[in-house]
Amino acid sequence: MRRFAASIVGQLLIFFAQFITAARADWRGIEPVRRQRIYYANHSSNADLPLIWTVLPAALRRDTRAVAAADYWLKNKLRAFIGRDVFQGILIDRRAEHRTEDPIAKIVEALDEGASIIIFPEGGRNRTEDPLMPFKAGLYNIARQRPEIDLVPCWIDNISHIMPTGEVIPVPLACTVTFGAPVHVREEEAKNAFLKRASDALRDLIPARGHA
């Protein structure tokens, strides 16, 4: 029953996101095939997760779980339902002092069960002028533990204008999610060097747009 409700709500979300943004995936560096992957994306709005999720083909979507903030998604029952059941969220508490389990272990466990994951390595919504904030160490730690899995950079374009932080009504603007070529952590590669490389791979996907 819960699964059924989740799939209905999921379809509604997809329909709504498509109606507002005509969201489209641009598979530039990698094919949309059913293979275990870690999708990492820029994060500037609460609509980011629904959008990536919308543009993934259904077969890939079923195996994909989102790494999301427990303090946000467990705030009320509706959010908890969407976060847990619809997005199959791996909920992580961002406040270290409240944690009862190791977040990285939780994510690796999901990977070992065969799930692909979506993660926002900036660790929170970007409210700066810069298109990307420095990545948190999480992405590196996951990559170190499961180095064989493809890390796929995903650039979500325009979403910060569709629904700026603090706004409720979305503006219907077109949105493209660009999937880049996969990145892997190299042997002996230091944390900061890797995070910089992964971040640059994501930055490279930002479309050039005149002076705008």
Partner 1 sequence: MEMTQTNSDLLLLLAACCGLLVIATLIGEVLRARLHKTHANLTVETYLTRVHSWWGMVFLFSIALLLGPAGIITLFAFCSLAALREFLTLTTKTNADHWSLIASFYLILPLQYVLIWWGAVGLFSTLIPIYAFLLLPILSVLRGGEGADKNFLARISETQWGLMICVFCASYIPALVTLDIPDYGDRAPLLIAYLVFVIQMGDLMEYFAGRRIGRRKVAPAVSPKTLEGITCGAALAAGLGLLLTWMTPFSPLASMAMAVMAYMVGVGGSLVLAAIKSDRGIKNWGHLIPGQGGFVDQLDSVVFAAPVFFHVTRYYYGG
What is the contact surface with partner 1 in residues (CB under 8 A)?
Answer: 22, 24, 158, 161, 164, 167, 169, 171-175, 207-210, 212
54 Ramachandran zone, left/alpha/beta (phi>0; psi -120 to 50): alpha
**90-92, strands of its sheet edge to edge:** 24-27, 176-179, 150-156, 37-41, 116-119, 64-69, 90-92
Of the two residues 100 and 128, which places its CB atom closer to partner 1 in the complex?
128
User: Which tokens is 26 given?
Assistant: 């641009």
Instruction: Supply the minimum distance, in Å, between the C-beta of residue 52 and partner 1.
Output: 18
Which tokens in the block code for residue 65? 């779980």
Which one, 20 or 86, has the nearer CB to partner 1? 20
| Smallest separation, CB 135 to partner 1 (Å) | 24
Query: Cβ 196 to partner 1, closest distance in Å?
Result: 27
Q: Rounded to the nearest whole angstrom, what is the least distance from the CB of residue 123 to partner 1 in the complex?
A: 22
How many other C-beta atoms are found inside a 10 Å radius of the C-beta of residue 9?
A: 15
At 26 the three-state DSSP class reads strand
Q: Which is nearer to partner 1, 23 or 91 (CB)?
A: 23
Residue closer to partner 1 (CB basis): 58 or 169: 169
